[in-house]
Structure 1
Amino acid sequence: MTEKPMPPSQLRPTSSRRRRPLWGGWRRGIRRMITPPGRLLWLGAFLCCALSLMAGGMPVARAAAAPLGSGESCATSTTGAVIVTAECLDATYADAVIESEEDVTSPTTLHIVRGYFEGASSRFAVYLPPAGQWQGRFFQYTYPLTDENAADETILFGVNSGGYTVQASGSSGYRHAAAAAKVSREIAASYYGDDGRHIYGYLYGPSGGSFQTVGAVENTTGVWDGFVPTVMGTPVSIPNNFFIRAMGRLVLGDVRQQISGAVLNGSDPYAGLNDAQTLMLEEMTALGVQLEGWEDPDYLLGYSFDDGLLGYVAMVKRMDPTYADDFWNESGYLGTEDSPLGEVVRAALVDTTLSVTAVERDGAGSPAALMTEGFPAGALDEGLDMQVLDNDGAPVGELVGTLDATTGRIHLDEGSDAAALAALAEGTQIAADNRWSIAVRSYYRHQLPPQEEGFTVYYRFYDDAGEPLYPQRQSRIAGMMASSISGGATYSGLFQGKVILVSNLQDVDAYTWHAPWYVERVRSAQGDAGVDERLRIYVNENADHLEGPVTGEKSTRIVSYDPMVQRALRDLAAWVEDGVEPPVSTAYRIEDGQVVLPSTAAERAGVQPVVTLAADTTTAEVGQPVRFEVSADMPASAGEVVRIDWEFTGTGDYVEAMQTSEENVRASVEHVFAEPGAYWVTVRATSAAPENSDSFAQVQNLARVRVVVRETGGQSDPTPMSTPSATDAAPTPLATRPAVQSASTIAPSTAVTASTTVPGAAVSATPTPSAASGSAKTLARTGVSAVALMAGAVSVLALGALLVARRRA
């Protein structure tokens, strides 16, 4: 193809918005609308219609949309998933309508085409860079409830990576995204003037978007060429992961700072816990809540959300309405179990009656808040169900709101029954209980995945004969949720194309072991050769679940995982298009639910620098120089360290100390603290792939050490703290059945030397050789239960609660 740069003189004004059908044959219709003659014809038609509308007040009729596809309907799998190919016709998204085109210069020079699918709620947008910047590929982001408006960063990454960007709205599944991808290829072929060229496509999505991406991985062919599921969920993730953490909040909330301090100090997090707390921390840890996640205990335990259960209580109520009664009355549940955890659960139960002392009304006269009395002192006010009672004690209707137990004030939210609101007056009685809120927290014990599916962390809930230790509910909600959000994926491990998984060690939403579990699904389905030929996994050591840049204090302990996703997409494109093998997968082992990384870059592999930091003392006096030494090593063939930054205040105010271009960096710096206090000192290393010349895909890692500074002549800190390595084996006394690790190695890298200086401090760098290894576990393969429509509907509502939390504020 001869690339055709678009001169500025050919840019159309940004106000040229219009809706267009794809007609006269799919390819011919697209070409007529996007080539310059077609643009003029359609602009004239648009102006004529607009003038007619203004003059006569008559509505403008919309032309019929043209079908998308060859006419042969897409097939359906035995599990109900629609198998989308490049040629088949998906009836739900058969008719695409171009609504507008515009040329813009922000965030860069782009031609943007917007449209929708007739009869469906999905909209799409295609962001096309000038021909001189396009290299024959596109990148497509997906996430439930995201609209078609791509973020500037997403668009700029695509342009800098030689691709255009596609984005479509759609709450679940992959079919809307597939239809948008197919539309975009036709648009691009016409716009760039090359009908014969294969346009490579890459789909990626985090969290809920990982479900959609895996659905596309396993149920499409020829639509995309590669995929990057990120911080991925599994058929046991929703709602189990959130219930596990909510159960932890119930039992461990009062000691969360103690546990966090122990994790940061590298000491035993179980020290000082009572029996129930020890059992709960063991259970959470063995199920995959990484101990590293305790660096942010409020987020881990759900205190960062208004509703730490994220609306999932209502889902279980609807799908399993007898569960709470069984929990509090039948054997085998914590509500009746004679155990330390059972005692905590029963002690947390609230079942009381409140009396209204005052009703606060809004400007329209509707109740907005209540003052009440009668709530037990010290009782848990989280997750209360409230019913307004009549004079005979019979329920009138549900009241939705939040009680402040310290004041007795109930703030009313939307959703209360009209009859309940109408009955509110001074003296009205309100029944309040938390039976459901407490009961659902251990629901994960009662919907176990079959052992043959390979979820080894759940083996702890089976006896030696393979029978569940606890009563099992009829509906396996987690599997239904995964099937619904993914569009019917069975997580079989069978697919065409290539996949790079991205997982994060401090992710307490999508547990770190999820991606390794899928690696073994692929291994079971396709063998070692299939894994080597089609799959990689990159693990971030100091990253969590949230997208976007990391700023402020959090940046002293967390790095953004966006650059690793960008790196994975570029590695994927080179792998698919040019046969360039990506770096070896990150090596890991799983010990009692904890993913543990090797301590050196040679052993760890992947694409992230391995960073260590040491101080010549962890206690110092004001004015005393403290020397810090950093080692930053890249895995073999993964690129170079390009920058070292230091942070001494704990506020995220980094100072760039060194720019370099070496695989292995050793540097030291001295710092003088002017005030007494406890300081976390952080060093952050930024890396880049070979020949990477822009700011994207620069994977970072960091290390920290704590220094206690006292007044001159003051006493030493009796327990100096340093940051434990994420590679340290996790102290988990309660054993599960860990997977077996296998390994492979790659050749050592070449040693290099570099040096530089920082204002006020000397920094030097010296080389060390490195090598890398991969690792794996062995799991079983099986299918997943079929989709349930009710689970699908509720899953979309629940994902709405997560939507605001998926990106950083």
Structure 2
Amino acid sequence: MTETGQRSKVGNGTIELAGYVSTDGFFGTPYVDVDEERSEPIAHRYVHGGFADTATRWAFWFPTNGQYRGRILQPLEGAHGGHENAFGNDLMADFLGGLRMCARLGGCMVESNQGHIGDDLDPRGGDDPTLYGHRASAETARLAKFVGAQVYGEEPHHAYVWGGSGGGRRSPLCLENAPDAWDGALPFMGGGPIVEHGNTEKIEGAQVMSFATMFNCQRLLGEKTDEIADAMAPGGHGDPFVGLTTHQREELASLYRQGFPRGDEYMIGKPLGQMWLWTSMAASLLEQDPSYFDDFWTKPGYVGFDQPGLVERDILNTRATVTKVLTGADVLADPRFLEPRHQNFRLLIMVFSSLGADPSLPMVVELEGLGETGYRLGTSVTVLTGAAAGRRLYCGAHADDVLYCDAAGEANLLRFSDVLPGDEVQVDNRDFLAFHYFARHHLMSEPQFDSLRIDDRPVFPQHPVPRQSALMGVGYSGLYRGKLIWVHHTKDSSLWPSQGIIYREAVLRAQGQEGAKERFRLRWVENAEHTPSMMVPSLPNRASNTWLIDYLPYIEQSLADLIAWVEDGIDPVDTAFDYVENKVILSPDAAQRRGIQAVIAVTVNGSDRAGAAVGEAVELELSATVPPGAGTIVSADWDFDGTGLFPFGHDGIDGSATSVSLSTKHAFDRPGEYFVTGRVHSHRDGDTAASSCRIANVAQVRVVVA
């Protein structure tokens, strides 16, 4: 560690930090502990360090290949943050943007751990949401300008903060609360409550309640989620309630009323990182509202007491023995988990293992003694014997009796460290089963919960709405000086479309119509999930990239538009939409919809579904139009059999047309049910050879071959 006043000399000159004075008095003197030239992924100077007497760590990537044009681009990691090298990770960079993208946009990349290490709190900062929500990121940005001036000879002229999910919820806080640090922000997939400017309280988050309902639907529906997804997929009958019991219908209807995106029902049964919310908050929820988890089983008005048959069959409360402790790498190398039924388990391990965690960290245990019944997901695992006795974690994913577990604070950092085969654990899921009905008993004022009220009175007994972790920051005021483009996804099963309109309301309240026109835009990405399509489990006959797009090109183009708005005054377009019954509706007309993504439609024999005999050709038609000012179509292709390979591309598309109408024929050589996907890419400059900012959209039809 090189403290302030000393010099770190590796590469192009010496970084001198003695002259830096922190704007925020919480932060001690900055230090550098790594300063070196690197060649991958592009030539750059990497500088790493922190602030003395804090848990804040930062990393700066300064391109040295001539692409830098005077900007700071500062990505914020999702979830709670906690890793200053998240976007230096190849997986994150490929999916969410990293140094290559920042350099293409003329920037250096600046990252911090947002004031904490892992899910632990800063020992001195404690439970202060302002520290993690924006202050640590802001002081990092200020220091980056100071260091950037030494690396490049002059201070960066503009700075931008951006991020998705948890990074999407915190990046607006940065712009609101540190106007000296950034000129613009681009949150995507954010969300949170509206508060008065200057509020310092931890937030109430709708996702806590809504995720609980989604987890309950996952438990209650089981394999029926595949049938529901099929009904709601193109060419399906469109009724998700066919064949469901009364209680299954009630909970699925409640999920829809709370805003779960139509057409994304498959993700009810295959959720991605949403379980992280429970594993990271379970201890806090139990601490904040212990009476609920007792009342659920003991008092009238709660399912656990009134209708125990709805939960009793799933109770798991037993003592078990650890037979093996594994790291994420151990799981990914184990052939046992290559079976299709473990696909989601492997994907989650891959994601969690990529977020800067020590690869040797034991995150998974294999247990003996769980029995044949009982619901594994969400269960608590409390170590009873051995060196780690007393530590409690929660199951975020499992493959039979192999459980991936996480928690908050020190338990998040340690996981199953010091746990050995032969140690005994208590496995108890009763709190998680109670959590499944949390939305009924913790109503927020947001309209998405109106279905659980009659005449403004809650239908069920109520408990105080819990606060989320301080690591999520404070609420939104919508008051800021710079420019902000909010991007949200129509098929996001983690931050539902209902979360996508909250910040617009905050800006309108704080700044009025004129302020919003000057400083705010909202864009929708059609057919995008919370993660890139690769991270979504595929169906046996339908690869995930046939119904979902990868949204990084959309984010990069929107960042470029933000830069042009801030620096050149070029007004960016928004997306027009209707919001009815907690559902976002986009116009099928590109000119009316606006935005920057092509509007696409496909048909088979003139419809969304067709039957055919083996060897009989069907007529496939594709039409697509790019909204005004968003560029032209640069490619159009088809995937016929659900493999996601898109083997057939239309010739003659030269990037000159804003609209295309294309057709082809295809015959199937085997019986089966096929989802045929048409896909287009558009590009702002019509560059057919472009490797970045190629914005996709997809549409599907169903062909039944007998």
Report the TM-score, using the length of structure 2 for normalisation.
0.76
1:225 aligns with 2:183: yes
Following superposition, the deviation at residue 461 of structure 1 comes to 2.6
CA distance in 1, matches of 2:549, 2:678: 11
1:211 aligns with 2:169: yes
Match of 1:565 in 2: 555
1:68 aligns with 2:21: yes
CA distance in 2, matches of 1:65, 1:260: 60
CA distance in 2, matches of 1:162, 1:399: 46
Match of 2:291 in 1: 322
Cα 1:550–1:606, aligned 2, differ >3 Å: closer, same or farther?
A: farther
Picking from 90, 106, 111, the partner of 1:162 is 106
Letter in 1 for 2:483: K
Match of 1:255 in 2: 224
Letter in 2 for 1:462: R
Give secondary structure in 2 for the equivalent of 1:167: strand
Following superposition, the deviation at residue 619 of structure 1 comes to 1.6
1:332 aligns with 2:301: yes
1:689 aligns with 2:684: yes
Picking from 688, 702, 705, the partner of 1:706 is 702
Match of 2:645 in 1: 653
1:348 and 1:438 in contact (8 A); partners too: no
String of CA shifts for 1:655-696, please: whole Å, max 9, x gaps.
333433221111111223222222211111111124778422
Following superposition, the deviation at residue 200 of structure 1 comes to 0.8
Cα 1:627–1:214, aligned 2, differ >3 Å: closer, same or farther?
A: same
1:66 and 1:96 in contact (8 A); partners too: no
Match of 2:348 in 1: none
Give secondary structure in 1 for the equivalent of 2:151: helix
CA distance in 2, matches of 1:418, 1:201: 44
Match of 2:208 in 1: 239
1:291 aligns with 2:262: yes
CA distance in 1, matches of 2:381, 2:40: 51
Give secondary structure in 2 for the equivalent of 1:682: strand
Match of 1:527 in 2: 512
Instruction: Give the alignment of 1:389-468 within 5 angstroms.
Output: 434-449=429-444, 451=445, 455-464=446-455, 466-468=456-458
Following superposition, the deviation at residue 64 of structure 1 comes to 8.7
Match of 1:674 in 2: 669
1:398 and 1:417 in contact (8 A); partners too: no
Letter in 2 for 1:185: K
2:296 and 2:302 in contact (8 A); partners too: yes
String of CA shifts for 1:512-550, please: whole Å, max 9, x gaps.
121212111211221111221111111111110014867
Cα 1:660–1:295, aligned 2, differ >3 Å: closer, same or farther?
A: farther
Following superposition, the deviation at residue 399 of structure 1 comes to 8.8
Following superposition, the deviation at residue 406 of structure 1 comes to 13
Cα 1:223–1:443, aligned 2, differ >3 Å: closer, same or farther?
A: same
Match of 1:183 in 2: 143
Picking from 251, 254, 267, the partner of 2:238 is 267
RMSD: 3.9
Letter in 1 for 2:641: T
Picking from 635, 648, 653, the partner of 1:643 is 635
CA distance in 2, matches of 1:102, 1:419: 38
Instruction: Give the alignment of 1:551-562 within 5 angstroms.
Output: 553-562=543-552
Cα 1:229–1:34, aligned 2, differ >3 Å: closer, same or farther?
A: same
String of CA shifts for 1:59-87, please: whole Å, max 9, x gaps.
xxxx9955434xxxxxxxxxxxxxxxxxx
1:289 and 1:508 in contact (8 A); partners too: yes
CA distance in 2, matches of 1:104, 1:389: 47
Cα 1:346–1:165, aligned 2, differ >3 Å: closer, same or farther?
A: closer
Cα 1:573–1:691, aligned 2, differ >3 Å: closer, same or farther?
A: farther
Letter in 1 for 2:189: V
Give secondary structure in 1 for the equivalent of 2:676: strand
Cα 1:412–1:370, aligned 2, differ >3 Å: closer, same or farther?
A: farther
CA distance in 1, matches of 2:535, 2:417: 42
Give secondary structure in 2 for the equivalent of 1:221: coil
Give secondary structure in 2 for the equivalent of 1:247: helix
CA distance in 1, matches of 2:398, 2:187: 43
1:263 and 1:295 in contact (8 A); partners too: no
Letter in 1 for 2:82: L
CA distance in 2, matches of 1:530, 1:486: 26
2:398 and 2:404 in contact (8 A); partners too: no
Cα 1:400–1:194, aligned 2, differ >3 Å: closer, same or farther?
A: closer
Match of 1:736 in 2: none
Following superposition, the deviation at residue 208 of structure 1 comes to 1.1
Match of 1:501 in 2: 486
CA distance in 1, matches of 2:427, 2:99: 50
Following superposition, the deviation at residue 238 of structure 1 comes to 4.2
Picking from 13, 35, 39, the partner of 1:105 is 39
Give secondary structure in 2 for the equivalent of 1:261: helix
Letter in 1 for 2:430: R
Cα 1:480–1:383, aligned 2, differ >3 Å: closer, same or farther?
A: closer
Report the TM-score, using the length of structure 1 for normalisation.
0.67
Match of 1:538 in 2: 523
1:90 aligns with 2:28: no
Following superposition, the deviation at residue 381 of structure 1 comes to 5.1
1:639 and 1:689 in contact (8 A); partners too: yes
Letter in 1 for 2:571: E
CA distance in 2, matches of 1:359, 1:546: 33
In our comparison, the structure showing a higher alpha carbon Rg is 1
CA distance in 2, matches of 1:262, 1:180: 49
1:350 aligns with 2:315: yes
1:65 and 1:97 in contact (8 A); partners too: no
2:57 and 2:113 in contact (8 A); partners too: yes
Match of 2:615 in 1: 623
Match of 2:334 in 1: none
Match of 1:794 in 2: none
Uncovered stretches (5+) of structure 2, i.e. residues with no partner: 117-131, 194-204, 326-364, 406-413
1:351 and 1:433 in contact (8 A); partners too: yes
String of CA shifts for 1:238-293, please: whole Å, max 9, x gaps.
42232121121232224212211111115211223222121111100010111221
Instruction: Give the alignment of 1:769-784 within 5 angstroms.
Output: none
Cα 1:572–1:22, aligned 2, differ >3 Å: closer, same or farther?
A: farther
Farther off after superposition, 628-637 or 262-271 = 262-271
String of CA shifts for 1:300-354, please: whole Å, max 9, x gaps.
4x6x8888943543332232222211112223323345xxxx4653444637777
2:634 and 2:686 in contact (8 A); partners too: no
State the percentage of identical aligned residues. Answer: 27
CA distance in 2, matches of 1:694, 1:405: 41
Cα 1:600–1:146, aligned 2, differ >3 Å: closer, same or farther?
A: farther
Cα 1:572–1:448, aligned 2, differ >3 Å: closer, same or farther?
A: same
Match of 2:345 in 1: none
Name the count of aligned residue pairs.
Answer: 606
Following superposition, the deviation at residue 370 of structure 1 comes to 6.7
String of CA shifts for 1:17-41, please: whole Å, max 9, x gaps.
x946367xxxxx99xx7996x54xx
Give secondary structure in 2 for the equivalent of 1:239: helix
2:218 and 2:268 in contact (8 A); partners too: no
Cα 1:667–1:535, aligned 2, differ >3 Å: closer, same or farther?
A: same
2:485 and 2:522 in contact (8 A); partners too: yes
Give secondary structure in 2 for the equivalent of 1:335: helix
2:524 and 2:595 in contact (8 A); partners too: yes
CA distance in 2, matches of 1:385, 1:263: 34
1:605 and 1:635 in contact (8 A); partners too: yes
Match of 1:150 in 2: 88
2:11 and 2:37 in contact (8 A); partners too: no
